[in-house]
Chains A and B, each alone.
Chain A
Amino acid sequence: MIGSYIEFTLDNWQDLLQLLIEHIELVVQTLIIALPLGISLGIFIAYYQPASLSVLWGAGVAMTIPSLALFGLLVPFLGIGNPPVIVALVLYAQLPIIRNTYIGLTGVEKDMIEAGEGVGMTRWQRLRQIQIPVALPVITAGVRNATVILIGVATVGAYVGAGGLGDYIFTGIYQANTEMIVVATVVVSLLALVFDYGLKIIEQFLQLQNGEDVALTRGTKAITKVIT
């Protein structure tokens, strides 16, 4: 049985690779829009607290809309293919990014902010030199969270013609081809794990940069060793 999966993989590796690349492209394109948007919103609600509840609530609600329904709703406006999928994925990514940006920024010790004010930093300089660097590992954790969600949800995008590994899954279901479904699913999961681990390493790097005490993963240790 395992043999048939391996066989399928070897026979179709070029297609798989193609779909994998499409999948990654979809996620990266989404992040390019979702990151600045989510981080800006997070900064906004950190400074304008009254908006924080409604913005976080809105981002939370967006996550509860079934993905298939959301894609379907957007197709009449944006056509089929990547655009509706990217718009929907951007919405899905907002909650973890906004929330972590907000928590990261508002969690900065008050003493540090006051000291920054005392030495004559402007509001912008305090944001740039104190709040954002301190919040960056927390924001990265949010991005990691969002990326893993995106990699999963992006598979559904194939239903409205966005391509990616979801293509194999839908085709597999249609043709009752178990190998196709299983192999594509495993690749999606592996992709999520790789991104998760990679971003975890970046997160820990930022923590080290901030002088935080962290239990390093093996990956971070190895990379730190190579660098230093």
Chain B
Amino acid sequence: MIKFDNVTKIYADSTVAIRDISFEVAEGTTTVLVGPSGCGKTTTMKLVNRLEDPTEGAVYYDGTNTQEIGVTELRRDIGYVIQEIGLFNHMTVGENVATVPKLKGWDDGQIDDRVDKLLELMALSPEEYRDQYPRELSGGQRQRVGVARALAADPDVLLMDEPFGALDPITRADLQDEFLEIQAEINTTILFVTHSIDEALKMGDKIVIFDVGELVQYDTPRNILENPNSEFVRDFVGEDITLKKLSLINVDEIMRPTNVIEDTTDQDSKTAVTNGGEVMHHLAPGDSLKSALSTFVESDIQSLPVVEDEETIGVIDRDEIYEIYNGG
């Protein structure tokens, strides 16, 4: 969907922002650009919607060289969450979200429906937030509005430049989780920028690691953890590689499914600590093995039930996690 072909960008003041970069963002996937501050991530992003043009090489959008696509048209087809959010402070939340549909000339009724739908998607009740001004919102809410605005005209591609960077860790984790759910639903092609390797591992199908202006490794999260191709990547990934690997795998990927509730109570009642029928320690299918491991440590038992909608749907043994932890 997006293809960088040996792209170099040198700014007018002869700063080399990126040099000879090549990678692809496949349709419907999320590719995360990660690297230290000033390494050229924002520049790379701006090359996609032609806020900057390449000095050498070419960027392809859906197979066409972006130089052959009209700037305005290209930008309206690509959703863009800029690093500073950049909400229009003089417009209400609803007007902010309506920006691109309005530019595209949708009719009013259609725009209103779309705005409400997006606010709901971003967990902002339309009745409460539609007529508020950005200044009245918290950082997390502003960020949600920024994402809603970028998604408003149903873009084929979404560019997100450190969208959760300025938030506190808890809000950030919440928004990341929510966004992963939204992504599963809307299935847009996403190019996501962050300086946090943890965020990259969590959000990306593919990860592009940048050192100053250079692409160092372009791979799946798992491969980056298992086969870092350089000292730089090893340092960047940092400590706790195994834990990070566990955080990439979800409970439902390795659990043993159980079909009937009685099964678990029969077989595993000794292991799943119960208290008057209420399960004290359990896991959710979407939990990562990392958080499962922490639950195992806390509860000090051998197996835990996986519970969804108050029904036990599977079981996980501690040893299975240990196996992955030790062997890969």
Distance in angstroms between the alpha carbons of A211 and B134 in the assembled complex: 8
Contact A118 B87 (CB under 8 A): no
Interface mask (B84-101 → A, CB under 8 Å = 1, otherwise 0) = 111111111000000110
Distance in angstroms between the alpha carbons of A125 and B103 in the assembled complex: 9
Interface mask (A88-111 → B, CB under 8 Å = 1, otherwise 0) = 000000000000000000000101
- B residues with CB within 8 A of A: 49, 51, 71-76, 80, 82, 84-92, 99-100, 103, 133-136, 149-150
A212 surroundings in chain B (CB, below 8 A):
90, 135
Contact A111 B82 (CB under 8 A): yes
Interface mask (A111-153 → B, CB under 8 Å = 1, otherwise 0) = 1101111111110010001100110000000000000000000
Contact A119 B51 (CB under 8 A): no
Contact B51 A118 (CB under 8 A): yes
Q: Known A111-B82, A115-B82, A213-B135; judge A120-B88 contact (CB<8 A).
A: no
A118 surroundings in chain B (CB, below 8 A):
49, 51, 75, 80, 82, 86
Contact B72 A120 (CB under 8 A): yes
Task: Identify the closest chain A residue to B132 (Cβ).
Answer: A211
Q: Which of B76, B80, B90, B135 contacts A133 (CB 8 A)?
A: B90
Contact B103 A112 (CB under 8 A): no
A210 at the interface (CB under 8 A from B): yes
- Chain A: minimal CB distance from B133 (Å): 3
Contact A130 B103 (CB under 8 A): no
Task: Identify the closest chain A residue to B99 (Cβ).
Answer: A119
Known contacts A116-B88, A118-B82; 16 additional CB pairs below 8 A are A109-B86, A112-B87, A115-B80, A115-B86, A116-B86, A117-B51, A118-B49, A118-B86, A119-B100, A119-B149, A120-B76, A125-B103, A130-B90, A209-B90, A210-B133, A211-B134
Distance in angstroms between the alpha carbons of A116 and B133 in the assembled complex: 17
Q: Which of A114, A129, A133, A213 contacts B82 (CB 8 A)?
A: A114
- Chain B: minimal CB distance from A210 (Å): 4
Task: Identify the closest chain B residue to A211 (Cβ).
Answer: B133
Contact A121 B133 (CB under 8 A): no
A209 surroundings in chain B (CB, below 8 A):
90
Contact B103 A121 (CB under 8 A): yes
Q: Known A111-B82, A125-B103; judge A120-B75 contact (CB<8 A).
A: yes
A134 surroundings in chain B (CB, below 8 A):
89-90
Task: Identify the closest chain B residue to A136 (Cβ).
Answer: B90
